[in-house]
Structure 1
Amino acid sequence: MTSNASYDRSTSGAQVAQDFHDQVKGRNVLITGVGPAGIGEATLMALAAQQPNLITVTGRSSEKVNESIAKAKAAYPDANIKPLIMDLSSMASVRKAAAEFLATPEPLDILINNAGVMAPPTRLVSADNIEIQFATNHVGHYLFTNLIMSKILAAAEKSTKGATRIINVSSFGHGANPIRFSDWNWEGGDVPDSEKGSVEQLQMFNESDHTFTKYTPYGAYGQSKTANVLYSVELTRRLYEKHGVLSLALHPGGIMTQLARHISQKELEYWETVLKDFIYWKNGDQGSSTTLVAALDPAFNSWTEEKGYYLDDCQLKAPIPWAVDPEAAQRLWKLSEEIVGEKFDF
């Protein structure tokens, strides 16, 4: 249970951060995927108001990152905010950014893996020849987080167990597809029934191809969002008891941001009409609230597996079972090590 049972889909991130002021003041936070009008920016604004020691924000575009920093500094002139340019779809860029961050002196109390891309209509691949959603939403975050883990463990050594956190912003879209271990890169071909997605959820997204033999935008998105939750499962297994680091995942809600930049106007109209009774559309501030509950609520310090790994509308919620399968989580970790060409053991 969270500290505040009254938090819901309408709760603002600013309110959550204010309520947990003591969990922000004097601490160091890093947020990936910060840019104008996104939930990363809203998360930055909420945290900057509560006297953190340092907030590091990442993004692909220095112009957009600095625009968000300028907005936060205009509202909170004393806030210490630094940019870190990183393209999560590029392992070279991730490694460069990680090296730059490791060269700074501060430990890292809270990492918020917020950046993402959603549903390109055709299969796109990264510079490393990885399907772009899996590359950006999972592989980049996996590599970056593990490369900077020494900073996180250093913070945990001096903190209450469970207060040092790694937060992975997932989506209810994880229900569209499990990990396709037989074809994780969506190159095509049949997969076992256990690796096929949910026809019902794909239909909800207005996706017509339910053969699961080739790339579909929301199938691939769902796989990447399942990976976010599984990554939290495995991080917590490896880190919570040994180092006191907790990882949680969440669905932020329906928010129209740059995440949806690949979605056509026709699709947006479909979402806003056919899905209006299913999706509660949030503004950016509301969209940051569940992230901030996951990152700050001290009720999670004494975490148990029964509490779970996933939040929705600022409260704990059970995700689709394939997203918290411990065997799948360990298997994904090993696959991710193979993809990035490096083993991690903490």
Structure 2
Amino acid sequence: MGPAADRGQETTGIEVAEAFKNVIKSKTVLITGVSPKSLGESTALAIARHRPAKLILASRTESKLQQVADGIAQVDSSLEVELIVINLSSQADIHDAAGKVRALTDRLDILINNAAVVTSARGETTEGIELQFGTNHVGHHLLTSLLMPLLLAGAEASGEPGTTRIVNVSSLGYRLSPIRFHDYNFEGKPVPPEEEPPAGIPSHMKPDAAAGRPYYAFTAYGQSKTANMLHAVALKEKLSCKGIQAFAVHPGSIWTDLSRNLSEEDLKIIEGTSTFWKDQDQGCATTIAAAFDPDLCGAKQAFLSDCHLEDVAEYAKDSVIAEKLWQLSEELTGESAKL
């Protein structure tokens, strides 16, 4: 494909991976949320074409992981692929999975935090954290912290600052909510105006404790996606000096198995949110650009959409808010990253 300026909403992951094939070669890559008909699958398949040293695929269901591994074998049967079963809504399970990763490799070059859940009904993680925040952000925060020694080893071994990367798959759905520090669990506690959904969000798309609706699915999803972005901001500030870059990405509007737990009413809302729907290959393009584009080695911004850096609302990029979320995440996990 042509220069970076030519990349846009129709660019495919296969095209981006081809452009950066020399960067992908010999990298050890871990991707969460890998299952058939998912962005994790398309991301793994595009990377697998270009001789990474090792692909570590992580997801909840071993049989689904194996289906993706079988597809990769058709691309390159000699490629080393490792499968890790992980439930990101259980911190004990995350600790167990991280231990298995450490037994497989002494370094990580690329960590792609791709897994996510969206659900119309309020749920909780094993630890009692609201399910979308607890899985999409807190689970990935913990996993990233536990794998930090491998990422630091990758950065030291590469000798090329900024090529070791952490990529969080976020969404422009972040626009639906900042972090609700006073009620991140959606228990109906009062929150200050700056933690409410931004102006312009319809009243029927907001929590309303007074009306007996302390939880709303898309507000919870928006909070978790804002958290993915702030996590990248904090990682960038803490790790740039150690040769590690961090980004959050918007994959675009795309139908995947992610929507399987939404009600018919919520599915109809999503149907009206975009005029351009990407396929799976187009949906992984920005993730692959964030992971491998050499031009991003010194980038100050943390968010990409359609393969390009993009500015975002202040509540999703403010370093003070990012640090506040970091501290909350460490409290919720009882784990401090060894930086």
Aligned counterparts of 2:205 and 2:172: Cα–Cα separation in 1: 19
Give the match's secondary structure for 1:31.
strand
1:310 to 274, 292, 303: 303
Partner amino acid for 1:296? F
The 1:210/1:143 distance shift into structure 2, 3 A limit, reads closer
Deviations along 1:175-200, whole A, 9 cap, x unmatched?
11111111111111210001111253
The 1:345/1:53 distance shift into structure 2, 3 A limit, reads closer
Q: What is the CA RMSD across the aligned residues, in angstroms?
A: 1.6
**1:255–1:284 CA contact under 8 A, matched in 2:** yes
| CA drift at 1:211 | 3.7
**1:207–1:218 CA contact under 8 A, matched in 2:** no
Partner amino acid for 2:45? M
* 1:336 equivalent in structure 2: 329
Partner amino acid for 1:134? F
Q: How does the TM-score come out when normalised to structure 2?
A: 0.95
Give the match's secondary structure for 2:227.
helix
Give the match's secondary structure for 1:248.
strand
Corresponding position: 1:108 with 2:108:
yes
Corresponding position: 1:294 with 2:290:
yes
Aligned counterparts of 2:204 and 2:296: Cα–Cα separation in 1: 37
Aligned counterparts of 2:154 and 2:275: Cα–Cα separation in 1: 37
Pairs within 5 Å for 1:130-279? 130-159=129-158, 160-201=160-201, 203=202, 207-209=204-206, 211=208, 214-241=214-241, 243-272=242-271, 274-275=272-273, 278-279=274-275
Q: Which runs of 5+ in 1 are unaligned?
A: none
Aligned counterparts of 2:83 and 2:288: Cα–Cα separation in 1: 20
Aligned counterparts of 2:187 and 2:278: Cα–Cα separation in 1: 35
The 1:252/1:227 distance shift into structure 2, 3 A limit, reads same
| CA drift at 1:207 | 4.2
Deviations along 1:185-237, whole A, 9 cap, x unmatched?
11112100011112534x3xx94445477211011111100000000000011
* 1:58 equivalent in structure 2: 58
* 1:282 equivalent in structure 2: 278
Give the match's secondary structure for 1:30.
strand
Partner amino acid for 1:323? A
The percentage of counterpart residues that share the same residue type is: 39
Aligned counterparts of 1:53 and 1:91: Cα–Cα separation in 2: 28
Partner amino acid for 1:240? S
Q: How does the TM-score come out when normalised to structure 1?
A: 0.93
Aligned counterparts of 1:191 and 1:58: Cα–Cα separation in 2: 36
Aligned counterparts of 2:137 and 2:84: Cα–Cα separation in 1: 19
Partner amino acid for 1:136? T
**2:88–2:139 CA contact under 8 A, matched in 1:** yes
Give the match's secondary structure for 1:125.
coil
Aligned residues: 334
Give the match's secondary structure for 2:6.
coil
| CA drift at 1:73 | 0.9
| CA drift at 1:263 | 1.7
Aligned counterparts of 2:216 and 2:284: Cα–Cα separation in 1: 28
* 1:92 equivalent in structure 2: 92
**1:229–1:309 CA contact under 8 A, matched in 2:** yes
The 1:208/1:299 distance shift into structure 2, 3 A limit, reads closer
Aligned counterparts of 1:207 and 1:80: Cα–Cα separation in 2: 49
Give the match's secondary structure for 2:56.
strand
**1:3–1:297 CA contact under 8 A, matched in 2:** no
* 1:319 equivalent in structure 2: 312
| CA drift at 1:270 | 4.2
| CA drift at 1:317 | 0.8
Aligned counterparts of 1:263 and 1:207: Cα–Cα separation in 2: 16
Deviations along 1:121-143, whole A, 9 cap, x unmatched?
22111111110001110011000
Aligned counterparts of 1:248 and 1:216: Cα–Cα separation in 2: 27
Could you tell which deviates more after superposition, 73-82 or 263-272? 263-272
Give the match's secondary structure for 1:152.
helix
* 2:121 equivalent in structure 1: 122
| CA drift at 1:17 | 0.3
* 1:77 equivalent in structure 2: 77
The 1:270/1:174 distance shift into structure 2, 3 A limit, reads closer
Could you tell which deviates more after superposition, 43-52 or 206-215? 206-215
The 1:71/1:10 distance shift into structure 2, 3 A limit, reads same
Aligned counterparts of 2:120 and 2:39: Cα–Cα separation in 1: 23
Aligned counterparts of 1:259 and 1:280: Cα–Cα separation in 2: 18
Deviations along 1:237-280, whole A, 9 cap, x unmatched?
11101x110000010011111111112334334433x33xx342
| CA drift at 1:31 | 0.2
